Structure 1
Amino acid sequence: MALDTGSVRHLHLVSDAESDEGFAAVGQPSVDEGVDIGIALRAARTFRGLTTQDVADATRIRLSYIDALEDLRLEDLPSRPFTIGYVRAYAQLLGLDGEAAVLRFKSDVPDDGGELRAPVGVRHEGDPRLALVLIAGLLMVGAILLWNVAQRAMSKDAPTAQVAAETTAVRPASAPTGSAVALGAPLPAPVESTTPEPYKTPGLDDAAANGGSADAANAASKARATALAAGEGEIDLAHVAALGSSFKPRGVVHGANEADSSGVILLARKAATLVVRGADGSVYFARQLNAGEAFRAPRTAGLTADVSDPANFDVYSGGVLTGRLTAKQTWLSKLGKPAA
């Protein structure tokens, strides 16, 4: 019965002794055949009846490398270490000594120290995402630089901010004897309404302010009579009607507190200047009062009040309205005396 060998073209039986290093047919060319290792490998392949495609399929080496190796075309082969591996695999496939084939190749092609070259067909493709990240980073850096340049240009063109000078508030303090106090000009008086005040029945407001008692009404009547008797020229009926009314602060009250007060209060009807001096001429208080602000006099003896306009100050004594200042300089102690 005939033996079916399939696609096997050559069948060679080997013993255990020669199975480790492949087999060599009788009369097969050795690695020393020909003028170089390429011719020796081609002779051995031809002797065995194999094609270059058979060798490429068996060794997994590219067909173009097999042809270049047999022709010893080094420019078509990869770098030396890869080529040496191909020579060893090719020789072992043909049953030749692989190491002897490598030595023959090194002898035929001395090492010239060339750079390593990867085998053809191996691609080193970079990750396209890295390129996108690099481009995005460059665009971001460029945008930041442009923004900084624009900000600097805008800051140079912007006008310099003007800072208002700080003003020092006037603090009540004792000045040396005989020193002069510089006061600014009084503020312009606010425009008053031209509508006349409604007529008020004399005594009603005072009686209501003082609890509606008869004594309060009598005190108010006496104060009005005194004002009418001492008045010269035009008489302010509204002021006369308000005599005896209780003090109701309409703004900041400067000076002493209620416990240390002498009972005298000067209320600014309009913006005016008030300077309070001691008996030795020292300044106790100096301020430009606005309408509604008041000064509560302390119990210090010998205090005088200098005002820019006496008609702008109402005088309260004991908590009730007793009149207005009649002179630019007045002793505060006299203002506290009750009206006769």
Structure 2
Amino acid sequence: MTPTLSDGPNIGSALKAVREHQHLSLESVAEDTRIRRAYLAAIEEGRLEALPSRPFTIGYIRAYARALGLDGEAAVERFRTEEPAPDQALREPLGVQEGRDPRLMLGAVALALIVAAIVLWNVVQRLMIEPTAPATVTVAATAQAKTAPSTPQSAAVALGAPLPPPIESTTPPLYETPGLEAATAAGDGSADSAEAALKAQKAAAAAAPKVEAVPTESLPATFTAQGAVYGGPAETSPVVLQARKPASIIVRGADGTVYFARQLAAGESYRAPALAGLTVDVSEPEAFQVFVGGQTKGLLPAAQTPIGKFAQ
């Protein structure tokens, strides 16, 4: 008589009877189903504790029945009838042991020690900085402190008068437009009067005879650049004004146009362009040496001088 899925006390014995009737070994069934031989033997013997979780067991029974040419769903249905799903959680797959990682325990202990050390350190620091109770000062002690002679350390230190601030050597003197004060005083104080007086002064300076720079024996005879040279090229500018010390210089045209205005340092020079009607205004005439064609003409004779007089 051919065995069926209904034979035997459980589904495992029924599958075993069918396998033996077909003269199949567990090894051949395991090779066909790709299921471990130990799991197939546990199914046949009803040792569910040796199997993985319930979903895996159901899949193994279905594959085992189909490998024998039986109805896999019928085999699963009988297994569910014989072994209803328990209310407890499914067992973990074999090979997985339940337990806590010892590294987590070590980390928790280390963290607790660190927290305890921080709390203890704060408590000690607070105890160390707490103010002590103020000492009671008696009337006698106060009187004694008042009558006690002062020590040399507590004597007043005599301070001298404050020193004046240092002079800023790099600050140039304030520039005042030459002739502005006289031009303003000559008229009624208005801008028109000042401009008219300034024009009259320029006309008088232009009509004056040839101006010669004051020669000085100690001045260099020829021009040698000792700093930056501003102005036009040497080929078209024969007149050169070289600063002997820091001073300001303004060069204007006949129409009042400003061609150059700068605070020159000692050694810096200005080469005047070959233009008619140029006038130079300086803060200190003796601070500038005049060179024409590279030869000295002495120092500037006045704060305001027509440049064209040197080229004549």
TM range (shorter): 0.3 to 0.5
Structure-2-length-normalised TM-score: 0.45
User: Who wins on radius of gyration, i.e. which is larger?
Assistant: 1
Structure-1-length-normalised TM-score: 0.42
